[in-house]
Structure 1
């Protein structure tokens, strides 16, 4: 009876985005793109963008400071120009970078009947169009606070989906559907040690294109390792 009930549990396939489904960091690349289109100063913005990225890799990023910084140009240019710029970003940066291996992995889970969720520490402005490009309707990203007009303020709305925040946001997503961790069978794909809290929570953690620290941890814990893309230096 227990075995049958376990088989019947809904299956979820959770995916980090940057360096997991994408062979790049969409947040960092949006910043670089902002420089190229003249929305940000090359030297100052580029220096700060690189510093924030290094903090993220090290697991020390202050996500609130970063989101204020990363959305400044978008907020200044307004919704219409921001949407146009993002579509250009999709054409020039994101779509050419998407690799068949990532689409095939998503397709395999879809065909198996799994519900797919992208859960990322990158903000919703950057990631919502990318999730749509992958054909994924469930996106858990850093939510952006909006003012009375509906435009973003630069602050974060709610719990950032980063480190242990991913676990809390995922729990809230499940609760909205009347579910808990014991009610679902979860696989989670991620490249980063920032996602260890959620990797340790699911039944099937997959270190995907893992950084050196996550690769070592996965080997130690016996987690599956999947290299969709060439290994990062």
Structure 2
């Protein structure tokens, strides 16, 4: 068995699902549009620059919806998938995931976006294993706005991957080939533990690194 790990945003889909969810909440009237948009764009710029405070971002990003009724949250998830995500799920990305699955690879999506936003997307791709930012819940099951455990961001992606493999009774050395697909230099720690790192729709910084190191460059959305 081989291992295949996919980043999600700008890798399997040509947008950032977290940022898009923020825009979606504006359209729902859940937030003050001008102020939320301003803060959301600042956090997004920090993510792109590799300077994001993931804990501050999760507190901000979950505040508009975490106290809403479960039925309202679920309905919004469904609409977001139908209106925003589904039209961006391109055949090339679906085919790539299915290719690895049909080879018998152990496949996971490893993303710095939280589980509320990304769980429906992973299901839509037919990927059973999702390593996303996990949201802490209080004893009553309410989301607190804090992160549970290690966030799957930068070096945290490698920590979460090793924890997940151990829970399945595996370790990285069990796999002859480890493929990692990502667009972002934020994922260098994950890419560097792969035997087959693939810079996928790469940002300019990651493309420069990939060319220097001789990594494969894949453009799914051209």
Q: Does the Cα contact within 8 Å between 1:142 and 1:161 map onto a contact in 2? A: yes
2: distance between equivalents of 1:129 and 1:192? 22
Deviations 1:89-141 (A, max 9, x none): 00100001111110010111111111210000000000001100111110000
Select between 71-80 and 94-103 the one with higher mean Cα deviation. 71-80
Gaps of 5+ in 2: none
Deviations 1:22-53 (A, max 9, x none): 10000000000000010111100000000000
C-alpha displacement of 1:78: 2.8
Residue 70 of structure 1 aligns to a residue in which SS? helix
1: distance between equivalents of 2:121 and 2:194? 24
Equivalences for residues 46-57 of structure 1 within 5 A: 46-57=37-48
2: distance between equivalents of 1:181 and 1:47? 41
Larger Rg: 1
Residue 145 of structure 2 aligns to a residue in which SS? strand
1: distance between equivalents of 2:64 and 2:114? 14
**Is 1:218 aligned to 2:210, yes or no?**
yes
2: distance between equivalents of 1:224 and 1:143? 31
2: distance between equivalents of 1:145 and 1:19? 26
Query: Which residue does 1:195 correspond to in 2?
Result: 187
Once superposed, what is the RMSD of the aligned Cα atoms? 0.8
2: distance between equivalents of 1:180 and 1:134? 25
Query: Which residue does 2:126 correspond to in 1?
Result: 135
C-alpha displacement of 1:197: 0.5
Within the candidate set 162, 171, 183, 1:171 is matched to: 162
Residue 150 of structure 2 aligns to a residue in which SS? coil
C-alpha displacement of 1:211: 0.2
Within the candidate set 76, 80, 86, 1:89 is matched to: 80
Deviations 1:200-225 (A, max 9, x none): 01111000000000000000001110
C-alpha displacement of 1:161: 0.2
1: distance between equivalents of 2:94 and 2:142? 32
Alignment coverage as a number of residue pairs = 221
Q: Does the Cα contact within 8 Å between 1:79 and 1:151 map onto a contact in 2? A: no
C-alpha displacement of 1:152: 1.0
